[in-house]
Structure 1
Amino acid sequence: MQRLILTVGLVLAAASAGAAERIARIEVSGLYCPSCSYIAGEAMKRAAAGVEIVSFEEQGDGSTVIYLVRFDDAVVGAEEIAAQPAKFGYSGRLLGTEAEGS
């Protein structure tokens, strides 16, 4: 039994060794009212536990916003986070990701 527990523990540790906190740059467009940027941000945060909006910056007339989103890539992928605003009629596009602290 101890050997089984040790084996399971090692497998879980190895699986999480490659996981890291990452920062994604996500562009969301189609924002037409003051509430839209909040709604799009909340949609991305609900993609998975631990997803956090670090900052956002309006572009041009405010109908496009670039979000910096912190997430754990072992829990959810950046593409999945970027797809969430579409549920509310906005267009999300992943611009890139980097390891946190890079």
Structure 2
Amino acid sequence: MKNILLTLSALGVLAAVPASAAEQRITVGVGELTCPSCSFTVAAAMRGVPSVEIVDILEGRSWGEGIYVVAYDDQAADPDMIINAVLANGYPAEVLQPDDS
């Protein structure tokens, strides 16, 4: 009986734990990409944010613009952290809405 109560109590604790983190995706527009090392620098800055993975890199509408499709764990990072990492390296960046890309 004691084992059953212990098991039920453990299950109750597990049920109270919040749902696991969810993967989120955003599209980030970055400007002033004037050479291949610029894209490398921006990608490294984004990957420096916990849980961030770059899913795809596309050319922007104009020369020197890039579009990064980024996945991240919403419990470890948020869009502001990703944008701030790029801004800290001197590149303008913003989260694009679906119709902006």
1:32 counterpart SS class: coil
Listed one character per residue, the Cα deviations across residues 54-99 of structure 1 (whole Å, up to 9, x for unaligned) are 11112221x11010001111111122112211111101101148xx
1:55 counterpart SS class: strand
- In percent, how many aligned pairs have the same letter? 31
- Residue of structure 2 in register with 1:34 after alignment: 36
- TM-score, normalised to structure 1, is 0.74
- TM-score, normalised to structure 2, is 0.75
- Residue of structure 1 in register with 2:3 after alignment: none
Unaligned runs of 5+ in 2: 1-5
- Correspondences of 1:41-80 after superposition (within 5 Å): 41-48=43-50, 50-59=51-60, 60-61=62-63, 63-80=64-81
Greater CA radius of gyration, 1 or 2?
2
1:74 counterpart SS class: coil
- Residue of structure 1 in register with 2:86 after alignment: 85
Unaligned runs of 5+ in 1: 98-102
Aligned-pair Cα RMSD in Å: 2.1
- AA paired with 1:54? V
Listed one character per residue, the Cα deviations across residues 19-56 of structure 1 (whole Å, up to 9, x for unaligned) are 311111001112222210111011011111x2110111
